[in-house]
């Protein structure tokens, strides 16, 4: 079996070592250099269009990410070649930790207490009523569903939105374009976990963000291009939104001149909400390759028409 590996990231050697350990019987080549014509499976992160165009005979392409945007130009890859994304691979627990921290930090007003400490003020604040503190979650895939369940266990009312209907215990779910605004209207904290698709890019613009309640807080853990930066900042500066906690950005690393860096009501983290764990990811990909080799179906196959 022939495997082709390509990564535009900085940790390609670590991935190669992990695949070599997990598949000692397999020939693993890297691009550029390795012949592409005899490749059985390609494992890619942000490949160039030129490489995708040469993979027409591959049995499958694996994307080293939970979304499919790491593949880039899907049209360059023959439609008969399935694209398979990572599922969980250690990301769910991390995402739950980050999302719960963001919500509890806002709900328990830890930023306010931090400011009081800086100014030497000892003052206990009135507790916010939990039942009126709605959490909106956009995107109810593997990560979004897990976050929704975790937050519901704290006693928050959780409102989840997805493109198609889903049922999640303890979560009030909504679906489709007609019910999108109803989730925004009840979200004291809005958590975005949507995939990046043609439909979601620029989705959280001024018109939609303005539908959030006065004083709402935005948490983006999905992709930076879903959020319109300037519209978010305007609504914060105007006092409609209380602030934001952002882990993903249109350009990464976040440019040094970007207003997010120094805005007092915006918290920036460097895309760490759910890091891709190499060993867990390799184990998942290898298990799927072994299933495909004996003709068994696998999960995580991307529907190109939907973009995820």
Question: Do residues 74 and 41 both lie within one domain?
Answer: yes
Residue 85 sits in the same domain as residue 96 = no
The range of the structural domain enclosing residue 46 comes to: 2-89+276-293
Domain contains 152: yes
Same domain, 18 and 106: no
Q: Same domain for 139 and 151?
A: yes
Q: Are 18 and 33 in contact (CB under 8 A)?
A: no
Within a domain: 228: yes
Please tell me the total number of residues recorded for the chain in this structure: 308
Q: Are strands 2-7 and 41-45 parallel, antiparallel or unpaired?
A: parallel
Beta bridge partners of 63: 44
Residue 298 lies in a domain: no
Per-chain mean pLDDT for the chain: 95
240 is catalytic: no
| pLDDT, tens digit, 9 for 90 and up, residues 139-176 | 999 999 999 999 999 999 999 999 999 999 999 999 99
What's the pLDDT tens digit per position in 228-260?
999 999 999 999 999 999 999 999 999 999 999
User: Which pLDDT belongs to residue 67?
Assistant: 75
Q: Is 271 a catalytic residue?
A: yes
- The pLDDT, as a whole number, for residue 146 is 97
pLDDT band at 34 (very low <50, low <70, confident <90, very high): very high
Say yes or no: 144 and 171 in one domain.
Answer: yes
Active-site annotation holder among 174, 271, 290, 291:
271
Which two tokens mark 305? 């028409």
The overall pTM is greater than 0.85: yes
Is cis: bond before 32, omega within 30 of 0?
yes
Of the residues 85, 163, 174, 223, only one is catalytic, namely 223
User: What is the pLDDT at residue 75?
Assistant: 85
């Amino acid at each position: 079996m022939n495997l082709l590996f390509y990564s535009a990231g900085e940790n390609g050697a670590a991935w190669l070592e992990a695949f070599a350990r997990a598949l000692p019987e397999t020939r693993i080549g890297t691009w550029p250099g390795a012949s592409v014509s005899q490749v059985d499976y390609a494992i890619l992160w942000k490949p160039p269009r030129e490489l995708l165009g040469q993979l027409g005979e591959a049995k499958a392409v694996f994307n080293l990410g939970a979304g499919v945007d790491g593949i880039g130009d899907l049209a360059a890859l023959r439609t008969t070649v399935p694209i398979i994304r990572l599922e969980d691979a250690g990301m769910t627990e991390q995402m739950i930790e980050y999302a719960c921290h963001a919500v509890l930090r806002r709900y328990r007003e830890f930023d306010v207490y931090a400011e009081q400490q800086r100014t030497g003020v000892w003052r206990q604040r009135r507790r916010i009523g939990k039942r009126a503190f709605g959490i909106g979650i956009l995107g109810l895939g593997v990560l979004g569903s897990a976050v929704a369940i975790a937050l519901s266990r704290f006693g928050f009312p959780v409102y989840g939105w997805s493109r198609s209907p889903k049922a999640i215990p303890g979560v009030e779910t909504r679906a489709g374009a007609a019910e999108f605004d109803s989730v925004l209207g009840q979200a004291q904290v809005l958590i975005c976990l949507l995939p990046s698709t043609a439909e979601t890019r620029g989705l959280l613009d001024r018109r939609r963000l303005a539908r959030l309640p006065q004083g709402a807080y935005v948490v983006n853990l999905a992709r930076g291009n879903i959020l319109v930066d300037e519209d978010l900042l305007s609504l914060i500066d105007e006092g409609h939104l209380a602030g934001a906690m952002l882990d993903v950005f249109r350009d990464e690393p976040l440019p040094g001149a970007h207003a997010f860096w120094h805005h007092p009501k915006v918290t920036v983290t460097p895309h760490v909400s759910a890091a891709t764990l190499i060993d867990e990811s390799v184990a998942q990909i290898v298990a799927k390759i072994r299933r495909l080799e004996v003709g068994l179906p696998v999960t995580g196959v991307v529907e190109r028409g939907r973009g995820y």
